[in-house]
Amino acid sequence: MEDLNKITTTTVTVFTRHSADCKKTDPQWKRCNCRKSLYIYADGKVTYKSAKTRSWETAEKAAQAERDARDPVLLRLKEINDDVSAKTAGAITVETATHRWLKGFKVQPSSTAKAYRGMIGDVLKLARTHLIGNRLVLTTQKTKADFDRVMPDDVAEALRSLPPQPHAHPDYFFWSRTCSHLSLTSRWTKRVKMLRPHLHFVDDHGKPLEFHSQMLRDTFAVDMLLAGMPLEDVSRLLTHKSVRTTEKYYARWVKAREKKLEEKMVEAMRRMGAKVSF
């Protein structure tokens, strides 16, 4: 857990070592046939490493491998996978390890809070004083709307039980107050993207979906609609200024909603005396 609580700044980039007879001097020039190398900044130290290729594309793959080898999320997933595999006769999939990691560690309250709140930036800059009992009270960054909502007790407890993070200011759950909003969001967006290879979602037609944090907000909105909540009320929960915005993004007829509509139609026809096979 100690590694998960520590977010270090790591940079791995590709650059070109031009030969003496190359006409280019820009280390970021990609299209010459000169050797490619890696600049690695990790744990406060700079190192250089040969990418063992003259192809920029191949060098980028080597750079990503270096990033993955230093990423605490992926390292923790591997630990879980290896640990469970050693204790059980059967193999455990990476998907199962991901599920267990999300269920048991600190990503859970952040992700679940997004489902009940909204945008990733609001969660990442969430101050501890914004959590009052099981309510979140704040002003949203995007729309500047006043937000005062109750949330599930287990989500509030998960947030409250988070220990102070070395990278975070004591007054905040995830923000150090030393980086910009864009930098903070970009950092965590990259972490979310790293989970994608281990998650498998499909749409109503069975086509693959790439996971992104906005899907949590979408899921919350659609779940509320499918549970029978009026569109106007869902719009207020999402802090939309106009119900038309909610209609545009969340009133699309997904299969489950279509089925509910059809069930109501059949029920109405039967009440009118019609025989309907369903």
pLDDT computed for residue 257 by the predictor? 67
Other CB atoms within a 10 A radius of the CB of residue 145 amount to: 15
Round to whole Å and give the CA distance between 163 and 106.
9
108 burial via Cβ count (<10 Å: 0-12, 13-18, 19+): middle
Strand partners, 45: 42
Q: What is the pLDDT of residues 93-148, one digit of tens each?
A: 545 544 554 444 333 444 444 444 445 678 888 899 999 998 988 888 777 878 88
Instruction: For 85-104, give one letter per residue: b (16+ CB within 10 A) or e.
Output: eeeeeeebeeeebbeebbee
Q: What angle do CA 134, 136, 142 make, to 5 degrees?
A: 160
Taking the model in full, what pTM does it have?
A: 0.47
Contact 77, 94 (CB under 8 A): yes
3-state secondary structure of 158: helix
Q: Of 69, 18, 66, 8, which Cα lies nearest the Cα of 39?
A: 66
Residue by residue, pLDDT tens for the chain (278 residues) are 444 444 446 789 999 999 999 999 999 999 999 999 999 988 888 999 999 999 999 999 999 899 888 877 777 777 766 665 555 544 445 455 445 544 443 334 444 444 444 456 788 888 999 999 989 888 887 778 788 888 888 888 888 888 877 778 889 888 888 888 778 878 777 877 887 787 777 777 788 878 777 777 787 887 888 777 888 888 888 888 888 888 877 766 556 667 777 888 888 888 888 888 86
Round to whole Å and give the CA distance between 276 and 262.
11
Round to whole Å and give the CA distance between 9 and 256.
44
pLDDT computed for residue 72 by the predictor? 76
> Looking at 183-262, which runs of residues are DSSP E strands?
201-202, 208-209
The residue type found at 178 is: T
pLDDT computed for residue 105 by the predictor? 38
pLDDT computed for residue 29 by the predictor? 93
Contact 127, 172 (CB under 8 A): yes
pLDDT computed for residue 82 by the predictor? 65
pLDDT computed for residue 255 by the predictor? 61
